[in-house]
Amino acid sequence: MTVVNVQEAKTHLSRLISRAQHGEEVVVARSGKPAVRLIPVEPVAQRTFGTVPVAIPDGFFFEPIDEEELAAWE
């Protein structure tokens, strides 16, 4: 385990992050007392949208609505 004070952490933050990502426990202390621990973030699974294939005719969203359908929406 590596314990560093806040000033040293500010100076060497990139190096400390790299060490934490490689499995080392890094603790940042304030006035000699442990305050926080640097740990790697778990990767978040990417979500995909629109996986159901749907055929929409060209111009579908731009055609005018007939009076009956328009009345149903009111």
List of domains in the chain = 2-38 (3.40.1620.10)
Least confident of 21-30, 33-42, 49-58, 60-69: 49-58
Give the per-residue pLDDT at 3.
96
- Radius of gyration from C-alpha coordinates of the chain: 28
Total residue length of the chain: 74
How much is the pTM?
Answer: 0.56
Amino acid at 9: A
Bridge partners (DSSP) of residue 4 are 28
The reported pLDDT for the residue numbered 41 is: 87
pLDDT for position 61: 75
